[in-house]
Structure 1
Amino acid sequence: MTALRCWGQGRRVAIVHDWLVVQGGAEKVLDALLEAFPQAEIFTLVDFLPAGQRGRIARHKVNTGLIQRLPMARRHYRHYLPWMPYAIEQFDLSEFDLIISSSHCVAKGVVTHPGQRHVCYCHTPMRYAWDMKEAYLNDASFPTPLEWYLRRVLKRLRQWDHFTASQVDHFIANSTNVAGRIRKYYRRDATVIHPPVDLESMSCHDGPRDDYYLAASRLVPYKRLDLIVEAFRADGKRRLKVVGDGPERKRLERLAGGARNIELLGFQPNEMLKHLMANAKGFVFAADEDFGILPLEAQACGTPVIAYGRGGARETVLGLEHGTAATGVFFDEQTCVALGEALERFESKAFDSSACREQADRFSRQRFWSGWLDLMHELDP
């Protein structure tokens, strides 16, 4: 990090982030970038991040867009999606030398000028406009006229998203999985630099563990917490703790149906989440995720993972075929039956907590910064 910070000295840096609402994986990447570029200003569409979650962000100037001032933006900022491309293009970045966009929606669409370098750290191409379009529309269950309108909106978003990719000087993908989607949708190559895991704040727990499984994420549909809750409710014996908050919480409470083996804990501060991870029997992850930093944080605590075998989990978890180096098991279908069978396989295997930690060590903050430094020297010797 020190070398990258030295490289950035004297350079005016802007970091463009889609929105600041909750602390998630993208915000952990933002935190690592702010540590490397302490002089950076932040540009974001809306900033409603609570004071207790701001961390390093609190030390930086945060510039918000016009959506921040629109009615009900705090709760319904996503409803302004059709206007987000216009809003992101209104930022004036003319005084900066280096623009870094941290993008999973529209951040990469900022307008830059000759003489500026724009590097996009792409968490994913806009999923609800591309590969998750049908799932997004099905989950929302809009009336037919509104669905027609939204299909038209999403088509225009795809066109804008594809066009603005040509204005990025260099793409960084958070995984090989995302690099493949960048190549498919944008026809651009990307350097893979995995997101950083804050290993220094996590200790590997190799002692006795409690008899519960842990699931944690933002409670949104594509994370598939509903599948996990349904599988544990049907089992009735294995204990499950769920950490997180979001629009799916009430639905998950209904699905749990008061089952005594399931606890929905809501949002928990980082220290409590780490404690729960370190003492869990296993971490359950059912999303087809772009990367997924939480399974790595679990492994950093020495906790093995039960994961859906698609997307980023295939890059972060070592399956049973790795023998004594295995750090988890996969299930190949997002069904209760497949998850139940994976839990059976998981419980028949003894996992080595040190192997889990060694796997997490491959995704350290130092490696993240080293990847950035190598790329910066390549682009601007």
Structure 2
Amino acid sequence: MTLAANEGLADTSNLLVYSAMVVYALTFLAYTAEWVFGSRSKVARTAAALTAERAAEPQAAVPAPAITVRKGGSTTVLERPRIITRSANPSRDHVPDGPGAANGDEQGDTYGRIAVSLTVLAFLLHFAAVAARAIALGRGPWGNMYEFSTAFSMVAVAGFLGFLAARKNVRWIGLPLITTVLLDLGLAVTVLYNDQTQLVPALDSIWMWIHVPLAIICGALFYLGALSAVLYLFRDRYEAKLAAGEKPGALATSILERLPSSVSLDRFGYRINAAVFPLWTFTIVAGAIWAQTAWGRYWGWDPKETWAFITWVAYACYLHARATAGWKGRRTAYLAIIGFVCFLVNYYGVNIFFNSLHGYGGV
């Protein structure tokens, strides 16, 4: 095991990771407080909105068969009153969103603002930890699974904050995101930590600064898309129950009313996946070019290459289904989740369970 080039700075990086985890834990509590105590949408509860939507639905007038009355030599046609019918399937496109949600009416309550402020502080500590490790090692901080994991979760948080900075009301994703970031960092520092600093000759290339960072960025953004797909499935089922006149449980109601409408969640995930897919395509192409430089061939069906391609196919199917088959909703949500699961297999599964040319980083 090779020690870090600058052990003092490497220790500082480790300390910063633990500090970020502490602040992320406080952030988790703040987001939880927002979900438990924060106010709902200004518009109204979702159930009340759906009820009002049914009442305000356009009504169709269906004429009844006319009655013909013959009297003497003349014929009189009497019309029956029109029968008013109502659609049995109320639209769910305009269900009001919860606090901080896309298209929502609230900018956020006190708990939400505290949570976002803590997220920014935790991200700065997280970024400083990754940067300190890069300076300490004199290379990119993504040479093994520990470094990849810490950089991956950092980019995911950066993406979330980027949407907030662009005035996108996506605070609803904060609680599940921060929860998984804590799990990722916990796994990194307890199971994946590695002091190895020297890279094999194949990694000593400019592509180390192109291919791997792109993979991290794509994976982190794909994760945000997959997270929105998972939340969509819960919210869509909740709205379907309300539309059918059923009454969901109190706990489900309290949680799911704080999410955006299912339409907003579906649209958010689609836009992310559609924007990231070309970047993932270039990531694979960059890896093939690097493989030619390092191993003398562009493609060899190595397990890592194979699963990268499977991930590409999964997301291609997702986009193709939406663009040509007109799929939306639950079916495409499942495809988005499958695509990200393929990415996780490519990262964790291949590195741990397969013999691969890409298994240079160790666990």
Provide TM-score, normalisation by structure 2: 0.29
Q: If each structure's strand is expressed as a fraction of its own residues, which one has the higher value?
A: 1
Provide TM-score, normalisation by structure 1: 0.28
Rg larger in structure? 2
Greater relative contact order (CA < 8 Å, ≥ 6 in sequence): 2
Q: If each structure's helix is expressed as a fraction of its own residues, which one has the higher value?
A: 2
